[in-house]
Amino acid sequence: MTNTDTISSDERDLNAADVAWDLETLLPGDQSADDLLALADEKSAKVGEYRGRVASLDAAGLAELMADLAEIGELVSRAGHYAMLRFSEDTTDPERGAAMMGVEEASTAISTKLLFVDLEWATADDDHVGSIIDDPVLDHYRHHLENMRRNRPHLLSEAEETIMTEKSVSGASAWVRLFDELTSVIEIELDGETLPLEAGLSQLQHPDRGVRQAAAEAITGGLEPGLRTRAFVFNTLLLDKSVDDRLRNFDTWVSSRNLSNEASDESVEALVEAVVGRYDIPQRWYRLKAQVLGLDQLADYDRNASVAESEKRVGWKEATSIVRDAYASFSPELAGVVGRFMDEGWIDAPIRDGKRPGAFCAYTVPSHHPYVLLNWTGRTRDVATLAHELGHGVHAYLAREQGLFHQSTPLTLAETASVFGETVTNNRLLSMLDDPGERFSLLASTLEDSIATVFRQVAMNRFENACHIARREEGELSVEKFGDLWVETQTDMMGDTVSLGGGYRSWWSYIPHFMGTPGYVYAYAYGQLLALSVYARYAEQGESFVPAYLDLLRAGGSRSPQDLAKMVNCDLADPEFWDAGLVIVDEQLMAADEAAKQAGRLA
């Protein structure tokens, strides 16, 4: 790793070395995380006085109870996010790991005391619920209350729920933490240097094929030592989920995720089938890309290669200026929020030893601001990642007024604002370019984002699907079996356009979503296609569209996905909706093809 204390100011800017968040504001006053949890525990005792009465409360009484729960949730979430974000900074620090486990244990104890609320509300008489649910005093809680009742068929007795909750800390969440720790310390040997995995992955975009191939070989080498351990972690989590699904009477491995996403199994199957039915789009792009790169066929390490004729590194100052300007071109209000992330210590950007890989936005709590974590490498792709995560950030920030229960959306809408922000940024950049080669590079990058978010994520969903089914039918899966399923589902998407080397068989093993949030990945495709449709409305309507979009962000998760989409004139119930989104991706491909010809990149 580079010693950031001795490098020049220009190099510090390229590495975003000085971009660190301030987490201390999560702890109000002189209070510690333990103080917040102690106060939450005290308040949970007051909620205990409602035991046996929840199902018969009038609207005012229910609103009072929900306000108490929101207050407890704020305290617990502040403590939890503080511990989690500190751990994300350095997953190798045992003190931080122990602190996060302590918070999880205390949070679980509090949750256990409050289990009766969900269970009693779920069993409330339908007529009584119908008589109070529309009372305005419940506006801040209504949708959440309705969703709680949708879980009725999958709830266990209070004694059983208590056991499940108590054991969760030493069960799935512990295995997920182990996986995070294992992947955070993966190192690769590249060009005589020892580097974190993230640095190697970023080299797969390098225009020099030799650099890409060397990076791929180094990544495979770095993944090999702990592969069997990570496979055992995955096997354990697959088994744990199958037990949960059986006990809770879910029909399929993904049904619980669909329920939390407020999407039917049938609608998700329709999305997946629509995307799989258009696998011709990535295959056509990979054939075109091979022509552009002068290759007969892409290798797996060529798939993300930059088509730019020169590799430009982007510093933090330039990147933030680009993203600010892009958001300002759409909405000065959103640009103002984006500026606060950049100026007020809401982002942690540089790569550090032990830092959690990837990028994410943590919503924290409505009374505070969100945070963004990045691993900045100075590549052009990082600018899009910054715009993407800040889309999450502005969504979280504007939805704070909805309160704890409605700030977050289901995963099916969670990617909409991020993809929209990334699209605004890409199109803003495109409008500034006259050079045909630069335009082709940006159009290609935009298309590849869509392919990665729609088609690759659905291919990963197919891998997940195969793993969950095989684990339930065959028992523990070998490393070789995981590799077979990975290559099979990736080949379905890429066809014969990409040659997958033997080393690529292990590349499933660093992806955290499979472990921590099973079933998550299809939400990327859902969000991307929805966001492209939303952006198409903006392209048609111009400035008149902006207020409706901001209202959508402010609404958070206070309504169903279908009702939220209607706010921007999108009909998720239309069986042709996903096809329309896929047509937009096809149009991106045609635009990139034409730009390649104009730039003289095709024979």
Q: What is the pLDDT of residues 277-315, one digit of tens each?
A: 999 999 999 999 999 999 999 999 999 998 987 667 899
DSSP per-residue string spanning 112-156: HHHHHHHHHHHTS-HHHHHHHTT-GGGTTTHHHHHHHHHTGGG--
Q: Report the percentage of the chain scoring pLDDT > 70.
A: 99
The C-alpha atoms of residue 526 and residue 454 are separated, in whole angstroms, by 8
Residue given tokens 């104009």 in the structure block: 598
In the chain, domain spans: 31-170
C-alpha triplet 8, 14, 18: angle, nearest 5° = 75
C-alpha triplet 252, 257, 258: angle, nearest 5° = 80
Going by DSSP bridges, is the β-strand pair 360-362/347-350 parallel, antiparallel, or unpaired? unpaired
What are the distances in angstroms from CA 96 to CA 23, 181, 186? 14, 12, 19
Q: Report the percentage of the chain scoring pLDDT > 90.
A: 81
Residue given tokens 């996905």 in the structure block: 561
The C-alpha atoms of residue 233 and residue 238 are separated, in whole angstroms, by 9
Q: Return the structure tokens found at 348.
A: 């942690």
Residue type, 533: S
Query: Is domain 31-170 in CATH 1.20.140.70, yes or no?
Result: yes
Q: Return the structure tokens found at 520.
A: 């998550």
pTM above 0.75, yes or no: yes
What are the distances in angstroms from CA 109 to CA 40, 273, 569? 11, 42, 44
DSSP 8-class letter at 429: H
The C-alpha atoms of residue 478 and residue 162 are separated, in whole angstroms, by 33
Judge whether 24 and 30 are in contact, CB under 8 Å: no
59-104 confidence digits (pLDDT tens)? 999 999 999 999 999 999 999 999 999 999 999 999 999 999 999 9
476-533 confidence digits (pLDDT tens)? 999 999 999 999 999 999 999 999 999 999 999 999 999 999 999 998 898 889 988 9
- Please give the mean pLDDT across all residues of the chain: 93
The C-alpha atoms of residue 196 and residue 324 are separated, in whole angstroms, by 29
367-424 confidence digits (pLDDT tens)? 999 999 999 998 888 998 999 999 999 999 999 999 999 999 988 888 889 989 998 9
Tell me the mean pLDDT in the region 356-364: 94
